[in-house]
Amino acid sequence: MSYAVKEMFVTLQGEGAQSGARAVFCRFAGCNLWTGREADRADAICQFCDTDFVGMDGQGGGRFADAAALTAAISAIWGGGMAGRLVVLTGGEPMLQVDAPLIDTLHGAGFRIAIESNGTLAVPRSIDWICISPKAGSDVVQTSGDELKLIWPQPGSDWRAMENWAFSHFFVQPMDVAEDTKRAANVRAAMAHIYDHPRWRLSLQTHKILGID
């Protein structure tokens, strides 16, 4: 199959347990929780989404004919050397496109594979690091993995039930909004949740603090 990619770039992972790690981010186009049409935004489950996943016009984006072509592009973005190779497959919703040939080909090129998914589609355990960010109102089927990252506050999230899911790390991440006072209130709300429920940890979008992609 071919793959539609919005953008690809090398950066430092900004969120969660792998913050600070050098990685190639491969952002797939499309999401199953929103059509991508502005007219439909009011009906989207996750209206707080801060990611542009529409089209293939971003840096390094395009349509790649097969797994070998996409892996070659990811390898070129990483550059020389095999040590520490990490690719983060994200979106949109990457599991709309990620398949066994791509996973196998990336592993063959020496990459450790991380994925950031909304959890509404099953993620194969052949992926090395599974991060699930559940959205209130969606039907989550992937209730195990390495990292659960819950955007906070998110009315309607059954976070108590999520504590029974099989993850190694549980994070709340303050919802990013344009208004400074509301953003600060979200940070305080996330901190308050952790003080009251210490199984959870704080995830910050450090890439935004650093001013990188």
To the query of whether residue 197 is one of the catalytic residues in this protein, the response is no
Cα Rg of the chain, angstroms: 17
To the query of whether residue 15 is one of the catalytic residues in this protein, the response is no
To the query of whether residue 11 is one of the catalytic residues in this protein, the response is no
Of the residues 15, 26, 31, 167, only one is catalytic, namely 31
CA–CA gap between residue 139 and residue 128 (Å, rounded): 23
Q: What does the block give as tokens for 207?
A: 């890439």
To the query of whether residue 116 is one of the catalytic residues in this protein, the response is yes
3 state DSSP class of 131: strand
To the query of whether residue 93 is one of the catalytic residues in this protein, the response is no
Of the residues 9, 11, 35, 51, only one is catalytic, namely 51
Q: What does the block give as tokens for 138?
A: 């969606």
CA–CA gap between residue 66 and residue 82 (Å, rounded): 22
Name residues whose C-beta falls within 8 Å of residue 49's C-beta, 6 or more positions apart in sequence: 31, 34
Of the residues 40, 43, 48, 50, only one is catalytic, namely 50
Of the residues 7, 15, 46, 64, only one is catalytic, namely 46
Of the residues 7, 93, 116, 147, only one is catalytic, namely 116
Of the residues 7, 25, 71, 170, only one is catalytic, namely 25
To the query of whether residue 25 is one of the catalytic residues in this protein, the response is yes
Of the residues 7, 26, 28, 49, only one is catalytic, namely 49
To the query of whether residue 35 is one of the catalytic residues in this protein, the response is no
To the query of whether residue 51 is one of the catalytic residues in this protein, the response is yes
Q: Which of 64, 82, 83, 65 is nearest to 26 (CA)?
A: 64
CA–CA gap between residue 119 and residue 95 (Å, rounded): 9
CA–CA gap between residue 196 and residue 92 (Å, rounded): 32
Of the residues 52, 169, 207, 213, only one is catalytic, namely 207
CA–CA gap between residue 94 and residue 82 (Å, rounded): 24
Residues with a catalytic annotation lie at 25, 31, 46, 49-51, 116, 207
